[in-house]
Amino acid sequence: MTPKKKHPAFSTRAIHVGQEPDPLTGAVSVPIYPTSTYVQQEIGKNKGYEYARVSNPTRDRLEENLASLEGGIGAKVFASGMAAINAIATMFKAGDHVVCGHNLYGGTPRLFNQVLATFGMEFSYVDTADVKNVERAIRKNTRMVFVETPTNPLMALSDLRAIGKVCRGRKVQLVVDNTFMSPYFQRPISLGADMVVHSTTKFLNGHSDGLGGVVVCTSNEQVEKLAFLQKAAGAILSPFECWLILRGVKTLAVRMEQHDRNGRAVAGFLANHKKVRAVFYPGLLDHPQHELAKTQMTGFGSMITFETGSLSNANKMLRKVRVCSLAESLGGVETLISHPATMTHAAVGPEGRKKIGITDGMVRISVGIEDVDDIIADLDQALSAV
């Protein structure tokens, strides 16, 4: 019997879509094309490439790969996650209104409030954990709802199916920052999102060695608009960084499985530690949205936030970590530990942090794929300083 042909599974697509052997040489690794321009045969006749800000073969391959992993029809990559978010926002115009989650990565409201609002765009921030808040915030001029789920650093979820339904009814685009989960554990397009954005700097690259951002689209109109913005604004991703992500993404499935296993173990350890006052992780049974997490994510990932009680306690433990590295960022193979109030969310300001519940004692950990016993032993000895 001939086996039924089926759509290749995620890990197969991660390794093969856009990553086909080079037709010229058979190289199994996608070639890096470090060129700024391309020779043309005659006026208006070329091999599909004219100038590298507009297009590059290594970049094309990455865009094809990431579109497939998120279940979109196309994707466009940018020089960083923030450049990708900026490109999305500039698809809209002065006078357009955006409803945002109130607990986004700090750089996103910084861009929205301190840059784009000065050009006449309008932004409102609501707790998107309750879909009614989203519904109430939508106005006549609302064009986009922008959410992160789980949020950074509080690990609160938004119900993407419910928000997607509200947006569809009002012709508002739902855009989801899926950086924390990666397409391996959460695919917002299948839940109702119109576009998905990632800082590829995190899990998609996975090795803490290159910045990048991607927008995955569900319509040709979006793809064309973003291609125009790549050409017009120029915040494109270099061929080398594209290649780093193409290489990193080949192991996304196995990395995410290990991140998730280690994440669950570390969350369990922290939840039972007497120096830790609270743990924010959707995989814990007492997380208020644990049931929702099970319906829209296929794993819980490795992002965990916990409460040490004070800035001084946080600093005492952060000074002592050895296996974990005190650093901004997340999603690498190495365990990174950070202090949201003074790092990722410094730009939000003390009042803003208080409003959304980010305290000075909170520590965020991006659990890596080292031996989990070593990570736990390191956290244990560091917490003894508290």
**Residues at the site binding ligand PLP, with contacts judged by CB under 6 A:** 80-82, 105, 107, 148, 152, 177, 179, 199, 201, 211, 213, 329
Q: How are beta strands 122-126 and 97-101 bridged, if at all?
A: parallel
Nearer Cβ to ligand PLP (148/260): 148
Task: Give me the least distance between CB of 301 and ligand PLP, in Å please.
Answer: 12
The alpha carbons of the chain give a radius of gyration, in whole angstroms, of 21
Task: Give me the least distance between CB of 366 and ligand PLP, in Å please.
Answer: 10
Contact 213, 89 (CB under 8 A): no
Contact 195, 208 (CB under 8 A): no
Task: Give me the least distance between CB of 359 and ligand PLP, in Å please.
Answer: 19
The residue length of the chain stands at: 386
CA distance 279 to 263: 12
- For residue 92, CA distances in Å to 27, 120, 141, 222 come to 41, 11, 11, 11
Contact 213, 85 (CB under 8 A): yes
Contact 259, 301 (CB under 8 A): yes
Candidate list 59, 125, 143, 177, residue with the active-site label: 177
Task: Give me the least distance between CB of 319 and ligand PLP, in Å please.
Answer: 23
Task: Give me the least distance between CB of 43 and ligand PLP, in Å please.
Answer: 39
Contact 296, 161 (CB under 8 A): yes
Residues 6 or more apart whose Cβ sits within 8 Å of residue 259: 203, 301, 302, 367, 368, 369
Candidate list 38, 49, 53, 277, residue with the active-site label: 53
Nearer Cβ to ligand PLP (210/361): 210
Nearer Cβ to ligand PLP (18/153): 153
Residue in 331, 291, 337, 297 with CA at minimum distance from that of residue 317:
337
Nearer Cβ to ligand PLP (180/306): 180
Nearer Cβ to ligand PLP (81/239): 81
Candidate list 59, 143, 202, 353, residue with the active-site label: 202
Nearer Cβ to ligand PLP (201/302): 201
Has 51 been annotated as catalytic?
A: no
Has 105 been annotated as catalytic?
A: yes
* 3-state class (DSSP) for residue 335: coil
C-alpha dihedral, 36 to 34 to 14 to 323, nearest 10°: -120
Has 177 been annotated as catalytic?
A: yes
Has 38 been annotated as catalytic?
A: no
Task: Give me the least distance between CB of 23 and ligand PLP, in Å please.
Answer: 32
Question: For 86, phi and psi rounded to 5 degrees?
Answer: -60, -40
Catalytic residues: 53, 105, 177, 202
